[in-house]
Amino acid sequence: MRSVRDIKVLEGIPVLVRASLNVPIKQGKVTNAFRLRSALPTIEYLRSRHAKVILMSHVSGTGAESLEPVYHAMSSFIHGMKFCPVSVGREAREAVRALSPGGVLMLENLRRNAGEEKNDPGFAKELASLADIYVQDSFDVCHRAHASVVGVPAFLPSYAGFTVEKEVKELAKALKPKSPSLAIIAGAKFSTKEPLIRKLLKKYKTVMVGGALANDFIQAQGYSVGASLVSKEGQDHIRELLKNKRIMIPKDAVVGKKGAKRLEGRITELSDIRPDEMILDVGPKTVKELQERAKKAKSILWNGPLGLFEDGYIDGTRGLMRGIAHSRAWSIVGGGDTEAAIEEVNAHEHFSFISTGGGAMLDFLAHGNLPGLQALD
Ligand code: ADP
Ligand code: MG
């Protein structure tokens, strides 16, 4: 993978940067600028070498949303930045032509054009025609075969930006953990995380399965899980995985009736879950075991909240964070909901690295590569 640092000539050259500007917007205002700040090093590197920087990104939603609020937020970091209300066509070409060396232009939400998510070659070619060089700096979209991710780099010399480089470097470390190692995979939807669990079982000493994912395993051990969320398929896969000695399953649980808030939940042994109760978090015995393992570990990888933290079932997740905070291990964590849980208790500084990847992180760890990274070769 070639890095932005490997680009020989930048003076006056238009560079199309696939940036990660998909930030939360409420009432026309950006409510969290973390990603915008993370995008700055690559932009500043290109500007300081007098390239013409063209930023392109999506913002999630219906596809109709505008990036204009993001442009306003970003303008406080990049003085004199410009905005173009479309992403391709004559108006976009003219906006690029009007850029002076060192200038920065932000294109409108890529997903306003249906060609983006369909990876339409015509759309990709039009985007590519705006610049001479492509830089991928949005790791979180690299698992998607979209026009701005895999289409454009087919037409231009392509490089990785600093955030992509850093993600790949850190995630590669997670695939070579130091022993003893601990991986925790929790959250929901077993089928999306099964390939990763299988991969990690080959590399980590302990792979703890938690959150709603664990319900299937608890049920397969013969316990009654009441009204808990369980998968419909894959029971035989789970029985097979349970034979692996490296798998760790919760020892106890916090249960509650559907819709009940944390205060109404109760701690229980797995053998005593009533038919109308759901497993909503791991219990204190499980947290204690996790903390002990985290303390001994040299490498820790974590994805997925251990409980329904949005409804207040955050004790398990918080306990795990504490365990990681008190450990001297190198630690990496990621996932959209996991990040939200970390945000909720303001625990960012406890981790060696927080991936912005979400689905891209899971795919990279499971398969060792991503379409958007392969497209850079
Ligand atoms: P991430 O986005 O970090 O990869 P996931 O999307 O896999 O995480 O899962 C997060 C969701 O799983 C959260 O909404 C969380 O509330 C839910 N969850 C975790 N444990 C449970 C549980 N025991 N019962 C129901 N939902 C749970
Ligand atoms: Mg999620």
Tell me the pTM: 0.93
Q: Please, are residues 125 and 88 in contact by the beta-carbon 8 Å criterion? A: no
Q: How far apart are CA 304 and CA 321, in angstroms?
A: 12
Confirm or reject: Cβ of 355 under 6 Å from ligand 1: no
**Residues identified as active-site:** 35, 189, 336, 359
Confirm or reject: Cβ of 309 under 6 Å from ligand 1: yes
Over residues 273-294, the pLDDT tens digits come to 999 999 999 999 999 999 999 9
**So what's the pLDDT on residue 284?**
98
Over residues 112-171, the pLDDT tens digits come to 999 999 999 999 999 999 999 999 999 999 999 999 999 999 999 999 999 999 999 999
Q: Residue 235 pLDDT more than 90?
A: no
Confirm or reject: Cβ of 211 under 6 Å from ligand 1: yes
Q: How far apart are CA 70 and CA 271, in angstroms?
A: 51
- Please report which ligand is nearest the Cα atom of 309: 1
- Please report which ligand is nearest the Cα atom of 225: 1
Q: Please, are residues 263 and 295 in contact by the beta-carbon 8 Å criterion? A: no
The residues placing their C-beta within 5 Å of ligand 2, an ion, are: 336-337
Residue 236 pLDDT level (bands cut at 50, 70, 90): confident
Return the best residue to mutate from 231, 252, 308 for the ligand 1 pocket (most ligand atoms within 8 A of CB): 308
**So what's the pLDDT on residue 161?**
98
Q: How far apart are CA 37 and CA 375, in angstroms?
A: 25
Over residues 291-336, the pLDDT tens digits come to 999 999 999 999 999 999 999 999 999 999 999 999 999 999 999 8
Over residues 243-254, the pLDDT tens digits come to 999 999 999 999
Return the best residue to mutate from 257, 337, 338 for the ligand 1 pocket (most ligand atoms within 8 A of CB): 337
Q: How far apart are CA 292 and CA 199, in angstroms?
A: 24
Paired tokens of 268: 């229980």
Maximum alpha-carbon separation in the chain? 70
- Please report which ligand is nearest the Cα atom of 280: 1
* pLDDT, the chain, mean: 95
Find, among 60, 56, 30, the residue nearest to 43 by Cα: 56
Q: Given the DSSP bridges, would you call strands 252-257 and 277-282 parallel, antiparallel or unpaired?
A: antiparallel
For residue 305, the ligand 1 atom closest to its alpha carbon is 19
Distance 187 CA to ligand 2 centre (A): 7
b/e burial code for range 8-19 (CB count within 10 A of at least 16 → b): eebeebbbbbbb
Enter the DSSP assignment of 178. Answer: P
The mean per-residue pLDDT over the stretch 169-183 comes to 98
What is the C-alpha radius of gyration for the chain, rounded to an integer number of angstroms?
23
